[in-house]
Chain A
Amino acid sequence: MLNPALVAPRPASFAILRREMLRLYRRRGQLIQPPLFFVLVAVLFPFAIGGDEHLLRALAPATVWISVLLATTLSLEDIFRSDQEDGSLEQLVLMAKSLPGACALKALAHWLSTPAPLIAMAALMSSVHDLEADTRSALLISLVLGTPVFSLVGTIGSALTVGVRGGALLLALLILPLYIPVLIFGAGAVRNATLSTATGSEYFFLAGLSVLAATLAPFATAAGLRARLS
């Protein structure tokens, strides 16, 4: 028997989602920033590594994953900041019948605003890197399965550091160690695809991590928000 307080009534969750989508649409110019940052980081790697084609192609999956990870981490601070500045965050905490549900919607909105455009850009970048078809599909599948963890776990960090001075760097320090499992399985899947070995297990691990994060992270985010705002 579910606690009725935990299940968001449909109108409230719709309203929150609608608001998030509206915000996303109104700031659609900003949607291009994470992909731009991602491309810039990905361009830095060849300069640092040197012009060796083989080495660059071998490192391409790792560079794409790390660029996605960094671009996502930089965007986490924004999840709650504007809400905190205009006071609507406190209203959300006070009002929402299901704060964890609202937090899950926040994470979903973040995924749509940052990792989703990044994945689209990664699809483009993989042709720049001249990846083989198998590697490219492994890269995209692993990104789709793994990046929800970035958004969900990142929302916890964003809640904990809301309104803290120098929050972006602190947030990265708190959150990056928690991203490592996703990086291991995500980059591992791409590497295995490059070597033409089976990649199924990594996909299952990534999907499992996403489901686990979707189940638990909203509750931690809600607890974090209450801790910060009480």
Chain B
Amino acid sequence: MIKTLHKYASPMHFHAVARAWSAPLLWLAAALFLAGLVGGLVLAPADYQQGESFRIIYVHVPSAWLSMFAYLVMAGAGATSLIWRVKLMDAIARAAAPLGASFTALALATGSLWGKPMWGTWWVWDARLTSELLLLLLYLGYMALQSAIDDRRAAARAGAVLAVVGVVNIPIIHYSVEWWSTLHQPATITRLGAPAMATSMLIPLLLMALAFQLLFFALLFIRVRSELLEFEQRASWVREILRQARSR
């Protein structure tokens, strides 16, 4: 068991696995994406209160889920790297950060696109919006730290500490922001009280969520591959790959 884990955690082996898996994952994500889009944009009925504009949830909700999932991946990989010094985990943490930041930005952008017709404004200081914005700032801080430290391994280890600190802080930030907004946000927004979703609306959402999840892993594998190649540029297996690529 440990031996298998060890084998898969070796940069060379993971690089091969990631190379084999990223293309099929991308195709599968594209197929599910198409199915989810058709289901969400064509087949699902318009919402009786929000009309057509509810359809943005098919991008918004999966992005918001992934924005948190990517942070957990980043911090989990960071903690693993701090405890067991697994090189692969450094690469995974570094690769996950820009992806998480992108999904967070996508969630914020689609949210404010939805907010304009629904709330009449692009932005409100609502608890969820604010903590999502702070999550984006945490991602950007991690990336700023990565680019400020030249040595990749040192940068990855410092980033791992920051990511773990962030994971402890995210619930605190989230609940304190929620507390702040319930006390001080005048109740101007009448939101729909979590309506039960019709199945015809829910199924496309789940398809889209799955598509986004697969897309995340496909992109993560591609980014991890390039991280590994740079991390290990002096290793013989990287030279071998480069030689093959040149002779092709």
Q: State the A residues within 8 Å of B (CB).
A: 153, 156, 160-161, 164-167, 170, 173-174, 176-178, 180-181, 184-185, 188, 205, 209, 212, 216, 220, 223-224, 227-228, 230
Determine if A224 and B176 form an interchain contact, defined as CB atoms under 8 angstroms apart: no
9 A-B pairs with the lowest CB-CB distances in the bound complex, closest first: A227-B157, A181-B176, A174-B141, A184-B180, A224-B161, A227-B158, A184-B176, A177-B137, A164-B148
Determine if A177 and B183 form an interchain contact, defined as CB atoms under 8 angstroms apart: no
In whole angstroms, how far apart are the Cα atoms of A181 and B161 in the complex? 20
Say whether, besides A160-B158, A170-B148, A180 and B177 are in contact (CB < 8 Å): yes
* Option from B82, B134, B149, B162 in Cβ contact (under 8 Å) with A174: B162
* Option from B138, B145, B149 in Cβ contact (under 8 Å) with A177: B138
Determine if A177 and B161 form an interchain contact, defined as CB atoms under 8 angstroms apart: no
Determine if A227 and B180 form an interchain contact, defined as CB atoms under 8 angstroms apart: no
Any A CB within 8 A of the CB of B140? yes
- Chain B residues positioned under 8 Å from A164 (CB to CB): 148-149
Say whether, besides A180-B176, A230-B154, A173 and B160 are in contact (CB < 8 Å): no
Any A CB within 8 A of the CB of B237? no
Q: Mark B90-119, 1 if CB is under 8 A from A, else 0.
A: 000000000000000000000000000000
Any A CB within 8 A of the CB of B144? yes
Say whether, besides A161-B145, A173-B141, A173-B144, A180 and B158 are in contact (CB < 8 Å): no
Return B79 CB to nearest CB of chain A, in Å: 10
Q: How many residues of B contact A (CB 8 A)?
A: 29
Return A25 CB to nearest CB of chain B, in Å: 32
Q: Mark B157-184, 1 if CB is under 8 A from A, else 0.
A: 1101110111011001100110110011
In whole angstroms, how far apart are the Cα atoms of A177 and B161 in the complex? 16
Return A118 CB to nearest CB of chain B, in Å: 22
Determine if B176 and A170 form an interchain contact, defined as CB atoms under 8 angstroms apart: no
> Could you list 23 A-B pairs, sorted by A, with CB under 8 Å?
A160-B145, A161-B145, A166-B148, A167-B148, A170-B148, A173-B141, A174-B145, A177-B138, A177-B169, A178-B165, A178-B169, A180-B134, A180-B176, A180-B177, A184-B176, A188-B183, A205-B176, A209-B172, A227-B82, A227-B158, A227-B160, A227-B161, A230-B157
Residue of B whose beta carbon sits closest to that of A226: B157
Q: State the B residues within 8 Å of A (CB).
A: 82, 134, 137-138, 140-141, 144-145, 148-149, 154, 157-158, 160-162, 164-166, 168-169, 172-173, 176-177, 179-180, 183-184
- Chain A residues positioned under 8 Å from B183 (CB to CB): 188
In whole angstroms, how far apart are the Cα atoms of A48 and B143 in the complex? 33
Say whether, besides A165-B148, A170-B145, A220 and B154 are in contact (CB < 8 Å): no
Residue of B whose beta carbon sits closest to that of A163: B149
* Option from A160, A167, A176, A180 in Cβ contact (under 8 Å) with B162: A160
In whole angstroms, how far apart are the Cα atoms of A160 and B144 in the complex? 12
Determine if A220 and B164 form an interchain contact, defined as CB atoms under 8 angstroms apart: yes
In whole angstroms, how far apart are the Cα atoms of A161 and B149 in the complex? 8
- Chain A residues positioned under 8 Å from B176 (CB to CB): 180-181, 184-185, 205
Determine if A177 and B134 form an interchain contact, defined as CB atoms under 8 angstroms apart: yes
Q: A177-B138, A177-B141 are in contact. List 8 more A-B contacts (CB 8 A).
A: A165-B148, A173-B137, A174-B141, A181-B169, A184-B180, A216-B168, A220-B165, A223-B82
Return A146 CB to nearest CB of chain B, in Å: 12
In whole angstroms, how far apart are the Cα atoms of A177 and B144 in the complex? 14
Return A24 CB to nearest CB of chain B, in Å: 27
- Chain A residues positioned under 8 Å from B149 (CB to CB): 164
- Chain B residues positioned under 8 Å from A180 (CB to CB): 134, 173, 176-177
Give the residue among B162, B173, B179 with the most A Cβ atoms within 10 A.
Answer: B162
- Chain B residues positioned under 8 Å from A167 (CB to CB): 148
Return A8 CB to nearest CB of chain B, in Å: 21
Determine if A181 and B154 form an interchain contact, defined as CB atoms under 8 angstroms apart: no
Return A164 CB to nearest CB of chain B, in Å: 5
Determine if A223 and B144 form an interchain contact, defined as CB atoms under 8 angstroms apart: no
Determine if A173 and B180 form an interchain contact, defined as CB atoms under 8 angstroms apart: no
